[in-house]
Structure 1
Amino acid sequence: MLKTSAYAAPSATKQLAPISIERREPGPHDVLIDILYCGVCHSDIHQVRDEWGGAIFPMVPGHEIVGRVKQVGQHVTKLKVGDIAGVGCMVDSCRDCASCKGHIEQFCEKGVAFSYNSTEMDRKTPTYGGYSSQIVVDEHFTLKVPAGLDPAAAAPLLCAGITTYSPLRQWNCKKGDRVGVVGLGGLGHMAVKFAVSMGAEVTMLSTSRSKEADARRLGAHAFESTKDEATFQKLAGRFDLIINTISAPHDYNKYLGMLRPQGAMVIVGVPPEPTPVAAFSLIGGNKRLAGSMIGGIAETQEMLDYCAKHNIVSDIEIIPIQKINEAYERMMRGDVRYRFVIDIASLKEPART
């Protein structure tokens, strides 16, 4: 076993602290990656605080991982030593069910192995994420990070990137489409960048008027305040597609009213409580309310290659791992533009159990 330095939450009520964990020795199909950077996702906070239930402690979060390949198994063909590689939200699946064969491994019928707060496919061995110095992953669940992408700014693409790229692809976002993005945060800023790059006319819908300048800097063509009730009447029937990134409680019905007939609103944020939806909000106009969860491995690689081609990365603030608890509090206040990324080089002091 490989002794690995990491930061973990010992329980739902305690702060993250240094820990020593064990990684398996690389097998014939495995890749050993020395982690360079790990993005900090809002879902990390939900998980370490057990807000979604089922938390496994000690928990090492992190599923936006970029690092350098240190070792490969004898049957590995996808990567070689020295390559810059990524690991996203998944580290394994059954590979045999219809979902896995259909390249949507995140919906594995036997239950996907998530990168942390999960178990390997043996349903016994806990998985640990990227707030750590190294990780061992089957090559199928690794990604090639194109040479043109800054490794630190590319890390959040492994979750925030694919989470917003996938629904835009699913709904065939194209030149001339009118796209609304609800919420300008880690997800929202990526949705703006992607939709603009695909040729859409993009409107940022936010409660924070102070974010207008930033929205326009990111490429948004318009900005509308959703604190103003008149906005919902002004934009009634306007959008072909809405990407809703908000994780706070809000009224879906108001936003559905902004869709044109046969338009769609895709939910990628996770509010803490169920949201009532009136039937006529959907029936009136044959509108669609849908959800989207990350993407399969093939689509994630497609997204990374697309980002390299279009020079798209996340806006980030790099932090040492010793500031992770402070970063969580800042995230809860919305005090980040727009993704924290941990410099794992800061995790070089000897780990303690």
Structure 2
Amino acid sequence: MPTSNTWDAEVVAGVQRFVRQEIIGQAQDLEASDSYPEQIVSKLKELGLFSIAVPQEYGGLELSVPTYAKIMEELAFGWTTLNCFINSHCSASSILAQHGTEAQKQSYLPRMATGELRVAIALTEPSAGSDLHSIRTKATPTGNGGYMLNGTKIFITNGARADVVLVLARTAPGKDGLSIFIVEKGQPGFTVGANAQTMGHRHIDVAELIFQDVELKAGNLVGEVEGQGLKQMLDALETGRIAMAATAVGLSRSALKAAREYAEQRVAFGTEIVHHQAIQMLLADMATQTMAAQSLVQVAANTKSSGQRSDMVSGMAKLFAGETCAKVTLDCVRIHGGSGFVKGFPAERYYREAPYYILTEGTNEIQKLTIAKRMLKGDAEAIGL
């Protein structure tokens, strides 16, 4: 039987083959298509990528955080939309695997592992984005052990297509008054509103979810203990931030590759522009910053995997990789010149997708506050700073 490291390496190699054979060279056509990429999503299921965070006893791969980060990087190198199908599902798997009751695990995790059951996470509200303490969606006890859920969530990735949603809702005042509930589609009072029209990732539904007097049972509360929702969610978000940072690295690699290849072909002033010093300086900066981001993501993933507190270093990875991605994709456009402003070239798509990694899983401004807070409490010394 293969060791864990061997198994992880085989999964990563399978993802790399898939990206090389079925995504690279087709991403522009996939992006331009108006049809949902059902065949691609089915292939992600076949590769077992919906089971990344599901324990093996429930049919999952149970891969390490460093392996998960590498998979996200390789997928993004081909087409970042692929990552959007997976990340929130894996975060939901992690929450249920670590904090759910045995009945909840048995009910949901095996089907989540196969991709038969798709799960989204609902956090953001019209008045509560990165500030989770401001959440207003309420789960009010009904007196028979159940709850009545009321509220609205917005910008929920895969919200329209998911079969189940993990909803962070208020069960009591204060920071310890948040809980996570498992809400299945089709329940009376649960409706899907409009999809947001986003700059990038046009095949991903980013939906409004409306809960109006949705009746829930005690078994819908993750762990069946109130007030644990914020801690449960923040634990998953640490890994989610590492995954988003890795995705930004993959996109930076794509932009660097496209810029180099274009510079080697484009002729100006009698020679390929790659021979011009100004272009070489841009390429050198792009490569250096991308490798630095890649290394920081590995540090964050290893820290999380070791069981150490990782909110500071995962914030660092997400901050640096996201900002690097924004700069590298802009430099890719610069190297392409006017062609970088045209939809037929991937540089335009890369530039549109990059801001997502500054904003998602907590804005980079929020990451800076987290980093500073943890540094002042001594966490920097723990990683040798």
TM-score bracket for the superposition, by shorter chain length: under 0.3
Higher relative contact order (CA 8 A, sep 6+): 1
Name whichever structure is richer in strand by fraction.
1
Looking at CA atoms only, which structure, 1 or 2, has the larger radius of gyration? Answer: 2
TM-score by length of 2: 0.24
TM-score by length of 1: 0.26
